[in-house]
Amino acid sequence: MNPSPFYNVMRLAGLAGLTLMALLPFEAAFAQAAGIPAFNVSEGDGGATYSLSLQILALMTALTVLPSLVLGMTSFTRIIIVLSILRQAMGTQQTPPNQVLVAIALFLTLFIMAPTLTTLNNEVLTPYFDGAMPAEAALANGSEIMKRFLVQNTRVNDLIMFTEMMGDQPYASAEDVPLNVLLPAFITSELKTAFQIGFLLFLPFLVIDMVIASTLMSLGMMMLSPMLVALPFKLLLFVLVDGWAMTVGSLVATYSIT
């Protein structure tokens, strides 16, 4: 029986937490055997004394930044920015609401990341949880799989910029790019692409606003809000061209997901 999507997401979150802990100063403590107890008990004259394990401390630290790490390594940033700009361009205020936009962005992110998540599950998560792969090998293999996705969807100019800021030479392959260079380059590339797509989406709605405003001024209707009159025309245009399907399809097409 295939595991449920929720189970795979939880297993991916576990691997992401392991990856983050590998970047922390507690890497040496985490690399020890998995049988470290959560609390160490020492008997003394005054009774038992409990001290929190460094492994649990590293895990709690990882959980605080895990959402930012996961969102920063996926397509969520680009999608939510484009959808927010689209809503502002249409002038529909809070329609669709923020919860709907976040839900759309999350499901599109899962769709875009599906090949990468499948590869992670088959080559890293399943062997690791079955005990056939040690934690160090799982971290290394998982990082290589994520690097392939990040490099394929990062602009070369942004990657070169952060490489030069680090004082390194151009890297020969995607496996040679360190995460401390690749992650900020990927985020910067995502922001640039998102605003470019948002600009193209904004133009037709801006033209409608200008035409409506000019028409109202020529008719002397100064007290009538151009945004109120333009809203139904923008909604009609968006529906006629099947705007949601075009927007979602264009967003997915901007990614290399193979």
Q: What is residue 131's three-state secondary structure?
A: coil
> What is the residue-averaged pLDDT of the chain?
76
Percent of the chain with pLDDT over 70: 76
26 pLDDT more than 60: no
Q: In 3D, which of 121, 144, 105, 119 has the Cα closest to residue 19?
A: 144
- 188 confidence band (pLDDT: 50, 70, 90): very high
Please tell me whether the peptide bond between 96 and the residue prior to it is cis, using omega within 30 degrees of 0.
yes
Least confident window among 17-26, 192-201, 209-218: 17-26
**Integer angstrom CA distances of residue 216 from 34, 104, 203, 223:** 72, 36, 20, 9
pTM of the full predicted structure? Answer: 0.71
Q: In 3D, which of 185, 174, 175 has the Cα closest to residue 140?
A: 175
Q: For the beta carbon of residue 174, count every other beta carbon within 10 angstroms.
A: 16
pLDDT tens-place string over residues 232-254: 888 888 888 888 888 888 888 88
Distance CA 117, CA 36 (A): 29
HEC secondary structure over 167-228: CCCCCCCHHHCCHHHHHHHHHHHHHHHHHHHHHHHHHHHHHHHHHHHHHHHHCCCCCCCHHH
Distance CA 61, CA 81 (A): 28
CB of 71 closer than 8 Å to CB of 42 = no
Locate the DSSP E strands across 23-169. Answer: 39-44, 47-52
pLDDT tens-place string over residues 52-86: 565 577 667 767 877 777 778 888 889 999 999 99
CB of 153 closer than 8 Å to CB of 189 = yes
